[in-house]
Amino acid sequence: MREIPVTLLLLCFSFSPYCQGNTTPNSIEGAKLYHQYCMSCHQADGGGVPQMTPPLVSTNYVTGDKKRLITILLNGLNEPIVINDEVYYNPMASFGYLTDRQIAAVLTYIRKSFGNQSTSVSTQEVSKIRKQLANKN
């Protein structure tokens, strides 16, 4: 019975695009979270859906300023944004119910997947920004 999880993990690495990339335990957690919470809208390859959901590939929102990125997850986003000359109007709900660790894992995952090559996001960075946002209210 103990082999089953290992086999599943190996299968996952062999076949699924969202399991490839870097392979620290944290990134496996990030891939799972992406699958569970983000993929339905942003798609397995991070390509989004034209006129519905913006892509996570090569966008400055994903690879740029961490504070802005963390704030998008904690607060959600509800403003028209332009990515690659395409305007997106649909709002995205907050993921503030995820733990700081989960947010760090999923953001690290998207910053290092789909061809993105950016730096990691730590649990501490998410905690700090969550506190800053709470103090504003």
Which residues make up the interface to ligand HEC (CB under 6 A)? 37-38, 40-42, 53-56, 59, 61-62, 69, 72-73, 77-81, 83, 88, 90-92, 95, 106, 110
Neighbour tally for 95: CB within 10 Å: 18
Nearer to ligand HEC, 10 or 125 (CB): 125
Q: Which is nearer to ligand HEC, 6 or 82 (CB)?
A: 82
Q: Are 102 and 28 in contact (CB under 8 A)?
A: no
Q: Which is nearer to ligand HEC, 4 or 109 (CB)?
A: 109
Minimum distance from residue 118 beta carbon to ligand HEC (Å): 12
Only one residue has tokens 């607060």, namely 75
Q: What share of the chain is helix, strand, coil (3-state, %, to 5)?
A: 55, 5, 40
